[in-house]
Amino acid sequence: MSVKQSLLAILDQGPCYGYQLRTEFDRRTGSTWPLNVGQIYSTLDRLERDGLVVKDDVDDAGHVYWRITDAGSAAVGEWLQTPVERGQATRDELAIKLAIAATLPGVDVTEIIQGQRRASLRQLQELNRAKYAGAQPDGPEELAWSLVVDSMIFTAEAEVRWLDHSEQRLAQHPDRVLALALSSERPKRGRPAKVEVAE
């Protein structure tokens, strides 16, 4: 998720101060990814450094408003028009955990998968409860919230399907032929040992 672009898109609607940006972000995402005010101000500082926002007026309460620049508006337009590139699946912590566990002797990967599946199904049930307990999306805030929750539900469902698939694949190797011992071949690179020099 890009906090930077999200805040810029909100500022493209008009100047805001930090806490106001946080409230607007929460309204538009259903508070599913809470941001702290410190994160917002550090992001605003980076956006100012990059010439995408500038400090604007200060109100009677001392709130400093931030205003988007032309370059910032252009960046918002580009962000909205550019498809999101998903991260490499190999960077997914769960995928790495199962891949490593499958190559370790004495590790019950099926138990790991079943524990993860229980957690994923619990999360899926909570998301579905939240979705069906919420109001029908008749306003912009409810619609935005339901879009985010639907995405989280589909992601959780995909994770459960992947866990089922992984368990079936691992069942094809009951003797754990996947277990890898440490390689006897030593890499050519690495930190050299420190040599003590006698005086």
Report domain extents, the chain: 3-81, 89-171
Is 174's pLDDT higher than 70? no
Q: Which pair of structure tokens corresponds to residue 34?
A: 């809470």
Helix axes 3-11, 70-81, angle to 10 degrees: 120
156 C-beta neighbours (distance < 10 Å), count: 20
User: What's the angle, vertex CA 135, arms to CA 21 and CA 128, rounded to 5?
Assistant: 95
Residue type, 84: V
Following CA atoms 143, 149, 150, 153 in sequence, which dihedral angle do they give, to the nearest 10 degrees? -170
The pTM of the full predicted model, rounded to 2 decimals, is 0.64
pLDDT of residue 191: 64
Contact 24, 10 (CB under 8 A): yes
Confidence band for 199, pLDDT divided at 50, 70 and 90: low
Average pLDDT over residues 93-101: 81
- Residue in 158, 172, 186, 157 with CA at minimum distance from that of residue 102: 172
Report the topology of domain 3-81.
Answer: Arc Repressor Mutant, subunit A (1.10.10)
